[in-house]
Amino acid sequence: MQVTRLRLGYLPLIDAAPLIMAQEMGFAAEEGLALELVRLNAWAQARDMLGAGLIEAAHMLVPMPVAQALGLGPRLPAMDLVMFLSQGGQAFAINAALETRLRAGGHGFDFADARAAGLALRRAVSGVLRVGVPFPFSTQSELVRHWLGASGFAPDAVELVTVPPPRMAAALAMGEVDAFCVGEPWASFAVAQGGAALLLPGRAIWAAPPEKGLVLRRDFAASQPELTGALMRALWRAGRWLDDPEHRGSAAEIISRPEYLDLPSELAGRGLGGTLMISSGGELRHAPDFIAFNAGAASFPWRSIAALLADRIARRQGLDPDAAMQAAMGHFRTDLYRQHLRAAGASLPGASSRLEGALKADRMVPAEKGQMILRADAFFDGQTFEPPPWRPEPLSRN
C-alpha cells in the first residue's frame, strides 16, 4: 500500500494523545498514512503554520477556528474544524495563599462541586483575581469566565492573563497570576513543583467542555477528501482506543517520551487515569471521566458549540453576535464528520445542532441508525444555550 506523509502540529498536552497514539499504535498506518508529528510552542504558531501550508493539520483549541471565522486573527486561508479530539482534561489551580484562606474558611477541596468552590473563592478573594489561561480564545477562558461570573465575581474583578502552559507553574510561583486554568499535565506539573492546589476539573463547571479539535484548511479538505477521511478515521480509532481505561497507562508512558511531552509519565498518568494529586500534601481525588476522547459522541463537532462560542466571543469583542454565530457555524464541519466517519462505525446524531447544556445525565437518543448515548453536558449553574437555525451560504475560501 502506498503511504502518504502528513505533517500534524501539536502542543505538548495529554490531549495530544489521539495524534500520538494514531501514529504509535498503527491506526494511521492502517489508513495508509505516516504522521509526521511536529511539536509546537504556541497556539498562534499552529494557526499560522496551518494557514501557510507548513503543516496539513493541527491540534487546536476549539474556540480558535471560531475566532478565525470572526476575523480576529491574521488573514489566512479558511480553516475548518472537522472533529473534536477531546472533552475535558482541564484543571483550575490556585496559589498557596488562596489555598490557606480557603481551608481556613472550611472548604473541603472535594475537586467536584463548582458551586461550593466558586463561593469559597469569592469569599477568599479581595480585589482583582488574576487567572492564567493558555490563549485568549480557549475553552479554559470560557470555563473561567462562566464559572467566576456565576459565582459572584463582577467582570472587572477577574483579569485573564495569557500564559503558555509550560510556564503556568512559574507564573503562579512568581506571583504573575493568583490562579490558572490549564490542560493537563501542566496543572499536575505545578502541584509537583509546589505552591499550587487544584480546586476543580473543567468538567465540574461544564460537564462536556470541548477542548481540542482537528483543524484543516478548507481547500485541503475539499481537494483531498481521501486523505481527510483517512486522517479522521485514524484519529477517531485512536480516540476509541484511548477511552478504554486499560489503555490509559500505556498511553501515558508513550506520550511522555522525550520526543513528545518529555516529562515523567507519572504526571501524564494522573489526568489520563482520572486520579489527581490536588496539593503538595499528596491528597488524591478521583475524577471519573476527567478527559474523554470518543465515548458519548465526544468527537462530534456540533454546530451549536460553534454558535455558543461565537456568541460569547462576539459580545466580548464588540461584534454582532448573530452574524458571528452564522459565520462560525459554517466552520464546524458536521457534514465531513458524517461523510468520513459513517463507514468507520461512528454513531451519528440525527441533528447537527442542539440545545447546549440540557443533559444533566448521559442519555440514549435516536441516531442515524438505531440509538446512541450522548454524554451529559450541563453547566454547573443550569444555564442552557439555544443556537439559532443555521442559514448556510455557499462555502467560501475565506
Q: Which is nearer to another protein, 11 or 234 (CB)?
A: 11
Q: Indicate the residue type of 178.
A: D
CB of 47 to another protein, least distance (A): 9
Residue ranges of alpha helices (H) inside 129-211 are: 139-150, 168-173, 186-193, 202-205
Q: Which stretch binds another protein (CB under 8 A): 20-28, 39-47, 96-104, 191-199?
A: 39-47
Q: Is the dihedral of CA 148, 166, 65, 294 positive or negative?
A: negative
Q: Which stretch binds another protein (CB under 8 A): 13-21, 22-30, 98-106, 133-141?
A: 133-141
CB of 31 to another protein, least distance (A): 29
Of residues 166-195, those binding another protein (CB under 8 A): 166-167, 174, 176
Q: Which is nearer to another protein, 67 or 306 (CB)?
A: 67
Name 183's Cβ contacts closer than 8 Å, sequence gap at least 6: 13, 14, 15, 89, 90, 134, 140, 165, 211
Asked if 135 touches another protein (CB under 8 A), the answer is yes
Strands 33-39 and 4-10: parallel
Q: Which is nearer to another protein, 40 or 254 (CB)?
A: 40
Q: Indicate the residue type of 324.
A: A
Of residues 365-394, those binding another protein (CB under 8 A): none
Of residues 298-357, those binding another protein (CB under 8 A): 317
Q: How many Å apart are CA 347 and CA 369, to the nearest integer?
A: 8
Contact 131, 160 (CB under 8 A): yes
Q: Which of 7, 30, 76, 158 binds another protein (CB under 8 A)?
A: 76
- Strands in 210-217's sheet, in edge-to-edge order, are 33-39, 4-10, 57-61, 210-217, 79-88, 291-292
Q: Is the dihedral of CA 167, 170, 175, 178 positive or negative?
A: positive
Longest Cα separation, the chain: 64
Q: Which of 40, 55, 230, 307 binds another protein (CB under 8 A)?
A: 40
Q: Which is nearer to another protein, 39 or 342 (CB)?
A: 39
Build a one-symbol-per-residue string for 46-75: x at contacts with another protein by CB under 8 A, - elsewhere.
Answer: --xx-xx-x-----------------xxxx
CB of 317 to another protein, least distance (A): 7
Asked if 224 touches another protein (CB under 8 A), the answer is no
Number of residues this chain uses to bind another protein (CB under 8 A): 28
Q: Which is nearer to another protein, 133 or 207 (CB)?
A: 133
SS3 296: helix
Name 231's Cβ contacts closer than 8 Å, sequence gap at least 6: 6, 28, 31, 33, 57, 214
Q: Which is nearer to another protein, 71 or 108 (CB)?
A: 71
Asked if 42 touches another protein (CB under 8 A), the answer is yes
Q: What is the dihedral of CA 35, 36, 39, 45, to 10 degrees?
A: -100
Q: Can you give the binding site for another protein, defined by CB under 8 A?
A: 40-45, 48-49, 51-52, 54, 72-76, 134-136, 161-164, 166-167, 174, 176, 317
